[in-house]
Chains A and B, each alone.
Chain A
């Protein structure tokens, strides 16, 4: 009992010859179908090159355009020839010219000899498979496809739409249930001859001739009628990309292919010399088998599909520039933005760094420069602190910073003095955690030594800018985690919100804060605001501060800067 190989060949005839010889050397008869597009002279030279092998035959040639009937007709003719001429063949294995046996042929022969009645053909009903290209699954069997998908895509699509609109559909003969699956099968003589000698075959052929991609459904459907024992999987390893075209194997896949549990791999790049050398030499060393680990192959190709369809979150580069809303992660990681904190607390950045061990920057959108942690002028990824470079594309500055420091937790300060252009980008980024103490920009003004007229003017501008920022943060499209307090609210009980923010950053163990940040001295702040009001400017973002007495929280925090841990 032996295995017969049907090979469908259209290019790289030299490689096909090598593989045919390999099968023949192990005693397997081979029937080769050469695509009609191969020029006659080339074909004849190919036939000649294999003429020394009596077990290699050639079947009638068809034109095999992808997705059309030609491939089925070629498989039928070649299989008929195989069954008629080689009596001893029990299983017929359909392979292509770019297939490569991964394991010794004897292993395949033994494997099939142990399963004399099993048909290996991937075959599933259309409702149950996700891998259909062009959105056509069941309609492959119910519509007409007179136009070529490759050459006449426009007409193809138009005619599909037309038939849908007109509710045209074909009848499926004799109530057969369409099944689909990999076109590379291995069938028993019994099943294959039943399909080929069926008195109803002209009817089925006539039907499938007009089905789209019949090579993935003809045998897959009809085998279900006759087989007593279908194992729905292919013995051929083949991986498909997101467009449904097979992945190609190269020399650098050698170790990977050695770990496959499949007998044959497709498809192999014709110039992959090392692969052909390694798998077609019969010495035991070359075929040294390793423990099968097909999961690894699956992972590599699944990752490739994922990279092509979803990409790396937060990455913007020459071949990935997603439209708004399609970023799959606007930025590369979570980050916390603090507005008003460094104005209200002394050395807030140092405190935050100690409390979270995150990377804490100053005002990276500051007017003069990006205030990176530690006063650095350049940071990860050679990102410069130059304000003009940054402001030429503020969004790219943020996405670059987060991409360059992915894996680290990032915190920075922000406020109405900084470039406002980035506010909206952060607001619609689910990775952003924005905490705002509104009106805290008044504290540096309060402490400054400027003339009051200047202070008044600055206060008016800053209040206007911050108000616009807060409006953006209140928009219904906001995706960021936003927290807002007025300054008066916040200093009433600062530790609670700080604890919540720190916990959210979540770098250190969940323990209570040991150290509170030190509040700026606000003695006289209420009077300062009253002075602004007296000058006709109305400060409202900071909430209500009584003129007298001064906020009591400020004094107590000043006297007791450290909390005792409970």
Chain B
């Protein structure tokens, strides 16, 4: 455990992350969020054995906690995140992401993250939505190896632009979004089982808040009201999800034996099957990623009234 929380300034922007054997992704992950203006990282390391823990402990702006406990028992890591957020996130803008999630917000190429959080503060907005957008390569998933430090979007540069479905979740008031390549390729016969893509990763944290299921929804319910119901668009971002790199097949096999994932690792079972039969997620109508403005035009995210 490396605890550098004493360095944290009251206005710092914080990232919270759970990781297990993601050493290959961490260099780019840290660089990506440092460039965005994040000041401090909180990691929970779940029993890694690939040297990633050592790597994290050496970083000057990282605090790491380790656990060998069950990811599943900790409600897929949510309990660990909530504990750290309650302890250290209070009063800060906190971004809770996985190592394969890259946050995009309107104007992220010209304005730092603090511009967004200042604007959210001025607008009295406490939570910010960013839908998960699954990225994938053209060709087989394992065709092009990913090297540490590389931008994963160079390989996984394609996405599905317009096949997402939305329902309201009456219990927590959040939207439940499904679709994308995972629904199209892995869950065509059981679409209701397809993974949720709605996320609220950026929150001005208060110790009374808690994530319920991953970062899909949180309590109190008002924080899930990140969408407008009267025709307008609220500002929102995207989490580019680079799960589908060459490491995926290995990871899927390992997760199947560990059985630590959501819904009896149903997702990974479906992947194992889908990958065997049809190892290509790319199709003729896949869209190649350019920048956030492209995603804005496609209607996947919105500037809202931020101009």
Evaluate contact between A304 and B306: CB separation under 8 angstroms: yes
Q: Find B303's partner among A245, A250, A304, A382 (CB 8 Å cutoff).
A: A304
B299 touches A312 (CB 8 A): yes
Determine the chain A residues whose CB is within 8 A of the CB of B110 once the complex forms: 250-252
Contact code string B110-132 (vs A, CB < 8 Å = 1, else 0): 11101100110011000001110
Contact of A327 among B129, B184, B226, B231 (CB under 8 A): B231
Q: Which of these, B114, B286, B300, B305, contacts A317 with CB under 8 Å?
A: B300
Q: How far, in whole Å, are A365 and B148 apart by their CA atoms in the complex?
A: 46
Say if the beta carbon of B301 comes within 8 Å of chain A.
Answer: yes
Find chain B residues with CB under 8 A from A389 CB.
163, 183-184, 188, 191
Chain A, Cβ-Cβ closest to B230: A326
Once the chains bind, are B231 and A309 in contact (CB under 8 Å)?
yes
- The reply to whether B175 and A381 form a contact with Cβ atoms under 8 Å apart is no
A321 partner residues in chain B, CB cutoff 8 A = 166, 168, 175, 227-229
List A contacts of B283 (CB < 8 A): 378, 382
Knowing A384-B188, A389-B183, A389-B191, say if A319 contacts B285 (CB, 8 Å): no
Most chain B Cβ neighbours within 10 Å, of A304, A305, A318: A318
Chain A CB count within 10 A is highest, among B160, B163, B300, B302, for B163
B278 contacts the other chain (Cβ, under 8 Å)? no
The B interface, classified by DSSP as helix, strand, loop or mixed, is loop
Residues of B165-202 whose CB lies within 8 A of A:
165-168, 175, 177-178, 181, 183-184, 188-192, 198
Tell me how many residues of B have a C-beta within 8 Å of chain A: 59
Q: Cβ of A497: which chain B residues have Cβ within 8 Å of it?
A: none
Is B175 a contact partner of A318 (Cβ separation < 8 A)? yes
Q: Is the CB–CB distance between A378 and B284 below 8 Å?
A: yes
- Interface members, chain B 97-117 (any A CB < 8 Å): 107, 110-112, 114-115
Known contacts being A271-B112, A308-B304, A388-B191, is A318 close to B198, with CB within 8 Å? yes
Contact A307-B232, Cβ < 8 Å, known A318-B175, A320-B227: yes
Query: Would you call B83 an interface residue if the criterion is a C-beta within 8 Å of the partner chain's C-beta atoms?
Result: no
Q: Which residues 261-315 of A have a CB within 8 angstroms of B?
A: 269, 271, 300-301, 303-305, 307-312, 315
B233 within 8 A of A: yes
- Complex formed: what's the CA distance from A328 to B231 in Å? 6
Query: Are A393 and B115 interface neighbours, CB within 8 A?
Result: no
Shortest B39–chain A CB gap in Å is: 14
Closest B residue to A327 by CB, please name it.
Answer: B231
Measured CA separation A303–B285 after assembly (Å): 30
The reply to whether B232 and A311 form a contact with Cβ atoms under 8 Å apart is: yes
Most buried by A among B189, B198, B230, B234: B230
**Which residue in A250, A320, A381, A392 is a CB contact (below 8 Å) of B228?**
A320
Q: Collect the chain B residues with CB atoms within 8 Å of residue A301's CB.
A: 307
Q: A321-B227, A382-B286, A383-B162 are in contact. Are A300 and B129 (CB under 8 A)?
A: no
Chain B residues lying within 8 Å of A318, measured Cβ to Cβ, are: 129-131, 166, 175, 177, 198, 226-227, 236, 300-301
Contacts of A323 in B (CB 8 A): 229-230
The answer to whether A322 and B299 have CB atoms under 8 Å apart is no
CB <8 Å contact, A322 and B165: no
Q: Who on chain A is nearest to B192 by CB?
A: A392
The answer to whether A316 has its CB under 8 Å from any CB of chain B is yes
Q: Which of B226, B231, B306 is A311 in contact with, Cβ under 8 Å? A: B231
How near does chain B come to A98, taking the closest CB pair, in angstroms?
11
Question: Which of the 9-residue segments A396-404, A443-451, A502-510 touches chain B?
Answer: A396-404
> Which residues of chain B are within 8 angstroms of A245 by Cβ–Cβ distance?
122-123
Measured between beta carbons, the chain B residues less than 8 angstroms from A252 are 107, 110-111
User: CA separation between A22 and B130, bound complex, in Å?
Assistant: 41
Residues of B within 8 A of A379 (CB): 285
B 289-307 binary contact with A (CB < 8 Å = 1; else 0): 0000000000111111111
Shortest CB–CB separation between residue B74 and chain A, in angstroms? Answer: 27
Closest to A251 in B: B110
Q: How far is the CB of A217 from chain B (nearest CB, A)?
A: 23
Q: Chain A residue with minimal CB distance to B167?
A: A393
Nearest A residue (CB) for B306: A304
Q: Report the Cα distance A393→B181, complex, angstroms.
A: 16
Q: Which residues in A have their C-beta under 8 angstroms from that of B307? A: 247, 300-301, 303-304
Residues of chain A lying within 8 A (CB to CB) of residue B178: 392
Q: How far is the CB of B129 from chain A (nearest CB, A)?
A: 5
Contact of B229 among A303, A304, A326, A383 (CB under 8 A): A326
Answer yes or no: B262 CB below 8 A from chain A CBs: no
Q: Cβ of B166 and Cβ of A396 under 8 Å apart?
A: yes
Q: Which residues does chain B contribute within 8 Å of A429, judged by CB atoms? A: none
CA distance A400 to B181 in the complex (A): 15
Q: Is B164 on the interface with A (CB-CB < 8 A)?
A: yes
Separation in Å of the A117 CB from the closest CB of chain B? 37
A326–B233 alpha-carbon span in the complex (Å): 12
A241 an interface residue at 8 Å Cβ cutoff? yes
Nearest CB in chain A to that of B299: its residue: A315
Nearest B-chain residue to A307, judged by Cβ: B233
| Nearest-neighbor residue (CB-CB) of B122 within chain A | A245
Which of A247, A382, A388, A404 has the most chain B CB atoms closer than 10 A to its own CB? A382
Question: What is the chain A residue whose CB lies nearest that of B174?
Answer: A318
> B26 interface residue, CB < 8 Å from A?
no
CB neighbours (8 Å) of B118 from chain A are 248, 269
Partner of A319, one of B167, B226, B230: B226
How many Å from the CB of B201 to the closest CB on chain A? 12
A309 surroundings in chain B (CB, below 8 A):
231-232
Query: What's the least CB distance linking B160 to chain A, in Å?
Result: 4
Give chain B nearest CB distance to A154 CB in angstroms. Answer: 15
CA distance A388 to B129 in the complex (A): 28
Is B161's CB within 8 Å of the partner chain A?
A: yes
Query: In the assembled complex, how far is the CB of residue A333 from the closest CB belonging to chain B, in whole angstroms?
Result: 13
A residues less than 8 Å from B167 (CB atoms): 393
Q: Give which listed residue, A250, A300, A393, A403, contacts B107 with CB less than 8 A.
A: A250
Q: Is B235 an interface residue (CB 8 A)?
A: yes
Q: Which of A269, A388, A400 is within 8 Å of B115, CB to CB?
A: A269
Quick check: is A242 within 8 A (CB to CB) of the other chain?
yes
- Count chain B CB atoms within 10 A of each CB in A316, A320, A323, A388 and give the residue with the most: A320
Per-position 1/0 for B216-241, Cβ under 8 A of A: 00000000001111111111100000
Q: Using known A-B contacts A252-B107, A403-B299, determine if residue A319 contacts B227 with beta carbons closer than 8 Å.
A: yes
Within 8 Å of chain B (Cβ to Cβ): is A386? Answer: yes
List 22 contacting pairs A-B, 8 Å CB cutoff, sorted by A: A241-B305, A269-B118, A271-B114, A303-B307, A304-B304, A304-B305, A308-B228, A315-B299, A317-B236, A318-B130, A318-B236, A320-B228, A320-B302, A323-B230, A381-B161, A382-B160, A382-B184, A388-B189, A389-B188, A396-B164, A396-B165, A403-B299
**A308-B228, A318-B236 are known contacts; what are 4 more A-B pairs with Cβ within 8 Å?**
A248-B118, A319-B226, A382-B181, A382-B287
